[in-house]
């Protein structure tokens, strides 16, 4: 199997719109969570009294690469403060999580799996030479406790056993000790085998189970790719088979699977948890790196350019727990929520709607996506995701100037001190491919031999066309390239500032309800669309100034509300008969339309 390696935050730097997106994140909740949220600010991980399980590791998993990608000294110093405290609290035995010795057997070691992964991220960003030994001691202790049956995998640790393999692969590269392989085998033997659960995914139930928990499932997708080598097992593309089942029975137009909290079927008014968005992206990044298969890159782009910005406010101070394809309002449900398991506030934008896991975890998505722009294997560099960025590593300097996905021109500037090969992925939806101004037959990978000590410029251009694609229930969605388009709904924001469980919600990290102020009961009345490019604002996925729109002909219909709800559209329209003449309406990118209709009839 051809394996690509990730570059580090020391080697890749964001440029253009991507850098602006990361700067917004740094000024928003991600860059300030340790100042405003007690579960990070006063966490047991740093000697405090607040939560000492997943929330600080979740936050650091994104905060650390964010700090180093932006070369922000303040963020870096705050990241080091947390990592230093975690290292200082590691016990002589190697145990690193914040609990007493007599509590270890009852401590869900998902947090240990997670912090080991975070420490790998920190090492790759900082080159802190203390870290390999810290991870070594923690994993060796984990092995000894499992081997002697003093602990066993249960709850989240049992369903996320493979997350340990980020650290185990890191250790195996450096130490090549047999116990590392033995630990890998123990974890797999005690962990869940998701191949045995697929029948449960075909008929989702309104109850919370680990077997159908959406975050468990999307994390799992990378399990074979990150574990098979160290286990000396063949790679079988298990993820493709499981994605196929999940998509058929629970898929959404933007590549997600419904899960509010667990799998929720094919209804456009069911939600998907934000943690699932970022973890599915992370799985696809590892699947792309391990296989080099372009299908994972395109699926990754679909999530990053649609589902990710859709669930986070423009200023990145607030987020949703659950997003919906057809989301006509974000108002607290007075009685029973529409979601399978999640609560009445799960779709509001706020500091901590419903559970706080997403509050800590959502910030890993943009930084790790940035680190997937370029990969390498031996003397070949792979431009995997065409993001505006610069690569400086091993005498190689590549700058990619682009506005992709909003425009489709890629300008590479390449200098190398040695002969290298540059491999560039071309999206499958590209039309009229041109290289340095000349027409070129379509292919999904372009290879360029880069000579040493000679500057090279490569300009790649292509076109994309809006298309319509089928959704369940005889509905349709519109897509152009990697961006899905929705009917945007104008809204009024209602601010809620209050205190709950000792945590203050105040502007800008208060809660917001979004009240609809425009009609949403439309159908598409023509399969023909016109793409219009607009200015990319300082907020790349702006809800007020979208960088592009698709003009569509639409007609009003009687859609109706879901029975028992005043702020949820019916799963399917009650009538597909037009109520008037066709109107020309601008569809917004899904990620820009915070209230939206995405799955629509064509009449």
Query: Looking at residue 1, what is its pLDDT?
Result: 59
**What single-letter DSSP state applies at residue 305?**
I
Q: How far apart are CA 273 and CA 449, in angstroms?
A: 43
Residue 131 lies inside a defined structural domain of this protein? no
Query: Looking at residue 20, what is its pLDDT?
Result: 98
What does the H/E/C string look like for 166-232? HHHHHHHHHHCCHHHHHHHHHHHHHCCCHHHCHHHHCCCCCCCCHHHEHHHHHHHCCHHHHHCCCCC
Q: How far apart are CA 513 and CA 500, in angstroms?
A: 17
DSSP 3-state assignment of 263?
A: strand
Query: Looking at residue 205, what is its pLDDT?
Result: 85
Instruction: State the number of CA atoms in the 13 A half-sphere of 361 facing the CB.
Output: 23
| Segment-wise mean pLDDT, segments of 10 residues, the chain, 603 residues | 89 98 98 97 96 97 98 98 98 96 95 98 98 98 97 98 98 98 98 97 91 98 98 97 98 98 97 98 98 98 98 98 98 94 96 96 98 97 98 97 98 96 98 96 95 95 98 98 98 96 94 98 97 96 98 98 97 97 98 98 97
* Domain of 475, in residue numbers: 466-597
Contact at 8 Å (CB) between 166 and 225?
no
Residue 548 lies inside a defined structural domain of this protein? yes
Q: In Å, what is the CA distance from 397 to each residue of 11, 306, 372, 389, 394?
A: 10, 30, 17, 11, 9
DSSP β-bridge partners for residue 213: 262
Residue 560 lies inside a defined structural domain of this protein? yes
Residue 247 lies inside a defined structural domain of this protein? no
Q: How far apart are CA 85 and CA 109, in angstroms?
A: 19
Residue 563 lies inside a defined structural domain of this protein? yes
Query: Looking at residue 2, what is its pLDDT?
Result: 65
Strands lying side by side in the sheet with 374-377: 5-6, 374-377, 380-383, 420-425, 445-450
At 168-215, the pLDDT tens digits run 999 999 999 999 999 999 999 999 999 999 999 999 888 899 999 999
- How many independent structural domains does the chain possess? 1
Q: How far apart are CA 241 and CA 299, in angstroms?
A: 15
Query: Looking at residue 206, what is its pLDDT?
Result: 81
């Amino acid at each position: 199997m051809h394996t690509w390696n990730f570059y580090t935050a020391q080697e890749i730097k964001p440029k253009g719109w991507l850098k602006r997106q990361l700067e917004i994140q740094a000024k928003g909740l991600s860059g300030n969570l340790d100042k405003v949220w007690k579960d990070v600010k006063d966490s047991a991980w740093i000697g405090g009294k607040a939560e000492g399980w997943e929330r600080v590791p979740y936050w650091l998993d994104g905060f650390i690469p964010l700090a180093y990608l932006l070369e922000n000294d303040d963020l870096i110093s705050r990241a080091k403060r947390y990592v230093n405290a975690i290292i200082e609290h590691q016990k002589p035995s190697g145990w690193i999580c914040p609990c007493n010795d007599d509590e270890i057997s009852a401590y869900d070691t998902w947090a240990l799996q997670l912090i080991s992964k975070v420490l790998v991220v920190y090492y790759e960003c900082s080159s802190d030479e203390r870290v390999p030994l810290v991870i070594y001691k923690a994993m060796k202790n984990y092995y000894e406790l499992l081997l002697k049956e003093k602990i066993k995998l249960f709850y989240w640790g049992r369903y996320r056993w493979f997350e340990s393999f980020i650290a185990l692969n890191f250790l195996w590269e450096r130490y090549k000790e047999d116990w590392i392989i033995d630990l890998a085998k123990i974890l797999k033997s005690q962990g869940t085998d998701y191949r045995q659960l697929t029948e449960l995914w075909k008929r989702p139930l309104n109850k919370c189970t680990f077997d159908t928990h959406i975050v468990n499932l999307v994390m799992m997708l990378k399990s074979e790719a990150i574990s098979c080598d160290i286990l000396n097992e063949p790679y079988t593309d298990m993820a493709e088979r499981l994605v196929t089942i999940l998509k058929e029975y629970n898929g959404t137009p933007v590549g997600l699977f419904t899960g509010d909290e667990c799998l929720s079927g094919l209804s456009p008014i069911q939600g998907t948890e934000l943690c699932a968005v970022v973890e599915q992206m992370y799985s696809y990044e590892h699947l792309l790196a391990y296989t080099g298969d372009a299908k994972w890159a395109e699926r990754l782009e679909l999530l990053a350019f649609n589902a990710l910005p859709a669930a986070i406010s423009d200023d990145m101070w607030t987020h949703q727990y659950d997003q919906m394809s057809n989301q006509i309002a974000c108002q607290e449900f007075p009685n029973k929520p529409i979601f399978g398991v999640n609560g009445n506030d799960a779709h509001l934008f706020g500091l901590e709607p419903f559970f706080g896991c997403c509050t800590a975890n959502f910030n890993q998505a943009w930084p790790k996506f940035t680190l997937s722009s370029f990969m390498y294997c031996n003397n070949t560099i792979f431009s995997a995701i065409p993001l505006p960025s610069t690569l400086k590593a091993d005498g190689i300097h590549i700058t990619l100037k682009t506005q992709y996905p909003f425009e489709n021109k890629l300008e590479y500037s390449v200098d190398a001190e040695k002969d290298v090969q540059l491999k560039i992925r071309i999206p499958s939806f590209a039309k009229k491919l041109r290289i340095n101004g000349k027409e070129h037959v379509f292919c999904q990978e372009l290879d360029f031999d880069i000579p040493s000590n000679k500057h090279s410029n490569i300009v790649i251009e292509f076109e994309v066309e809006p298309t319509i694609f089928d959704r369940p229930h005889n509905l349709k969605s519109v897509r152009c390239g990697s961006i899905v388009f929705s009917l945007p709904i104008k809204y009024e924001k209602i601010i809620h500032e209050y205190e709950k469980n000792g945590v203050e919600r105040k502007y800008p990290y208060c809660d917001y309800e979004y009240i609809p102020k425009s009609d949403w009961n439309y159908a598409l009345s023509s399969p023909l669309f016109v793409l219009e490019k607009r200015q990319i604002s300082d907020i790349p996925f702006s809800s007020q100034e979208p960088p592009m729109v698709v003009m569509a002909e639409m007609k009003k219909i009687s859609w109706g509300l879901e029975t028992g709800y005043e702020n949820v559209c019916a799963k399917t329209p009650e009538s597909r008969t037009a109520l008037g003449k066709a109107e020309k309406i601008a569809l917004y990118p899904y990620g820009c339309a915070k209230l939206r209709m995405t799955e629509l009839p064509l009449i």
